[in-house]
Amino acid sequence: MNTFKERLKNGEKLFGPFLNMNYPAVVEIAGLAGFDFVIIDNEHGEIPLEATVDLIRAAKLAQIPAIVRVYEGNPELVDKALDLGADGVQIPNIGSKEAAEIAVQAAKFAPMGNRGCNRFVRAGKYGSISKENFFGRANDETAVVLQVEGQDGVQALPDILTVKGVDVLFVGPYDLSASLGIPGQVDHPKVIEQMEHIMEQAAKVGVAIGFFVDDVQKAVEWRNRGVQYVSFSSDVGELYVRFKENADYFKMH
């Protein structure tokens, strides 16, 4: 089976939700439902880093790639998420080439980076994977997703895209709209225009684009425009929508 990174490199369009609930069964359900990946969110929601390992175990059981969004580009947090066995790491608030370099280097073993070398962790199957296989393959198999959310990142994009080792450039439309002075207006022409410009720049250097949507029809629309890493709503958001649909239906009939 192709790895998550291989599927991106092959040009596949992948679809997966943010997870904010600290409950491994939700990860399994996402896999059973047919999503292509999940984003375990340590930045927002209730999932502490200490609980992330059990959610990653659930992802492996459900055979669905697990991306961990750390709450800042701290190399220690990136290192820890990957040691726990995440298929990739998503780093928010990238606003400069320097921030991008720090993030990528934290996610890569030498000579590409400075990730701490320890194979006696879950990612190395507690030492059962030989050092040659673990250190030799980890850089190729680990996905690095960088989030550009503000105008600083947009302006620095030409420089950010020169950094080697970036697999996905992820755009947060809500933060982007706020940085343009139109918070929450994610369908505003200014947001769409800037997103299209970002996509053009990324396509020139072969970096996949990620985008957040909270509506499945919008997800299909952006997929058809070329977004490969389509992150969709969240577990709590979708649970609320389904609960409310049924509660309202019961009350109205």
Catalytic center residues = 44
Cβ 50 vs Cβ 63: under 8 Å: no
Report in angstroms the alpha-carbon separations of 61 from 9, 42, 66, 83. Answer: 24, 21, 11, 18
Cβ 185 vs Cβ 213: under 8 Å: no
Residue 125 has φ and ψ, to the nearest 5°, of 50, 45
Instruction: Please state whether beta strands 88-91 and 229-234 pair in parallel, antiparallel, or not at all (unpaired).
Output: unpaired
DSSP-derived letter for residue 47 is -
Report in angstroms the alpha-carbon separations of 122 from 80, 114, 141, 186. Answer: 10, 19, 15, 39
Report in angstroms the alpha-carbon separations of 131 from 105, 112, 134. Answer: 20, 17, 5
**Residue 212 forms beta bridges with which residues?**
231
As a three-state string, the secondary structure of 201-228 is: HHHHCCCEEEEEECCHHHHHHHHHHCCC
